[in-house]
Structure 1
Amino acid sequence: MTFRLRAARPGDLEHLYEMAKLTGGGFTNLPPDRKALSAKLDAAAKAFANTSNDLTAEQFVLVLENHETGAVRGTSQLMTQVGQRWPFYSYRLNTLTQYSKELDRTVRAEMLSLVTDLEGAAEVGGLFLHPNERAGGLGLLLARSRYLFIAMHRARFADKVLAELRGIIDERGGSPFWDGVAGRFFGMNFQEADYFNAINGNQFIADLMPKHPVYVAMLDDDARSVIGVPHPTGRAAMRMLENEGFSYEGYVDIFDGGPTMIARTDEVASVKNSVRAVVEDVDLAEGERAILATGRLETFRACYGARALSGDAETGFTIAIDSAAADALDVGEGDEVWSVAR
């Protein structure tokens, strides 16, 4: 059974909607709302149709499909430059140190400050894999194929890239962080605020959120304990991001307190180590396990496969791949394939 990533199409709306209903909340980029998802697919269609290499605020949506059956079983998204239509807000966790000469005492206080520091960065997000397919490395394929897409369309993405991880959500679908911080000012619970943000954007945060720093010591224990902590289902995703070169620098989501991971785009491992090569053989029997990708924009496709590389960066590379991967990618000898070792 072969799975491959491809560009999403308007006809994928119902597939995305069915997956969105399975997320359990906190997935701002995948709301269970047909109108919002349709708008995402429309925006993606415009981005895929744009053949220029200019850096503008765009959104690409990819889907994971079973190559044999056509069933869509996962999705992921890429934003080229956030914070262009409305501000991109985060909380930044920092420390204020104060000293009293009379008491001979130093006091350090952690604070959450509302910032737009990450405005202008690219973003990878919206990753969701159907619960029945969470085996065989498909989550890794979903995640890392995005970086090959970036490498293949590098001029379309900013020089910094971020990934927001979902924070702690309790058994009621609520957020201890939201309840302890922003929820005190908005008169709505986490699910209401998260849904409103997914549909309408977060301008209401700018309108209503106090601009003064929040002292962490003044929060209740439940809110303090989840700052910068990923949801249990996101721990593997955090490790994958760290393996790619992302790091946590004290930025957290304003809704659920989940960590925001940051990297320089050109230093992301799967971008930095990607290889562009010309196919010389599509019947490789044995080779190195890799993620392979081909096409441009709306013809982008990616899958797992075996590869054998020849050549070097100076003279150019050629690649041999296995027949199943060649079929999934619809490539033959003379075509171009990008790859990165699994």
Structure 2
Amino acid sequence: MPRTFDIKTKKDITPSGTSNPCGVCRRQFAKYTCPTCNLQYCSLTCYRSEAHSQCTEVFYKTSLAEQIQGEPARSDEEKKRMLELLKRFEEEATNNSDEGEEIDDVASRLEGINLDEADYRTIWDILTEEEKQRFLQLVADPASDESQRLLDAGSLADTPWWISDVTSRTTRATRAIPEGLLKTTQFNPMLLYNVFHVSLSYAYTIRTFGISAFNSGIQVQDEVDLFRNLLLPLSPFLTDRKSTLIFTSVDGVMVDWTSRLPEPPTPEFVRVLLTDAQTLFRSHPVVDSTENPHSSCMRFISDILGLVEGSKKYAHITHKLTFYLALISNLPTRASRDLIEAIRAWETKNQDHLVVLEPPVHKKPLVEEL
């Protein structure tokens, strides 16, 4: 039975013995509850839907206004994204202006402003109150036709990065690894199955929320909490400080991982996730010494790190994920190929019954991990 959380209190509020469907799509079990209207929903996509706009518009207007008018965005990437959106919005407003006084008004506001060099606060101050409200509405509803025109469709971040970002899989998006950890971390082939387990949780969460990556675009804290609340329980050995769990096979991973899902996945979805995992573990040719052949795998671990690093509560998770980064950075290319072959072999063997719910996997001491 899925668990329902209040996204403000993070408390489990699912009544005993119930399995409530999502109040928006009616196709999935509800896992969260809107703190404003108590609507139960299954994913961020449904939370943002037009049917729930009476709550989400207020939520996003408030959050975005605070970010724009208050403290600067948390990273250069977020600043660039907001600036680009504002530039496109102002340019579109100029192009769509009617004749006469409105054109004169836009021209006077833009006089002396170089949109290519202006920062986002300058552009924001140029907008009228009506334009600011319209901009916030567009960002709050990225699926609308007008938003897609503004965002040029390709920047909606609704396709997983490992599919859409084929030409830029480099180590630029990975976290730095302490030099001492790089030198002392020895490759343990068994630990690769633990990373495979985490990759399934990662791909599942990315696809459930319909986003490109956790760090793609402007985030608010409630979204980060939603991502963590779905991902971390799927791979609990990350959160358990005393965990000694180590997986020894693809079958062991699949038995354990599928048993932790809110509901049994369809065979088609399992195939998609297994393909995702193979893509993430596939090595890439390198052209210079600064690149790593396993940059895609390192990138997904780094993306999860962005959800937990900097918090004392998640310090032990940060430590484990950083260890996994060091492990993957030293991973022999043959080892990743062996894992991909093992995934394919498991899929072929279980193609008629891909959803496997059996007893938990065997455990071994995980001395090397910590």
TM-score (norm: length of structure 1)? 0.25
TM-score (norm: length of structure 2)? 0.24
Q: Which one has the largest radius of gyration?
A: 2
Higher strand share: 1
Higher helix share: 2
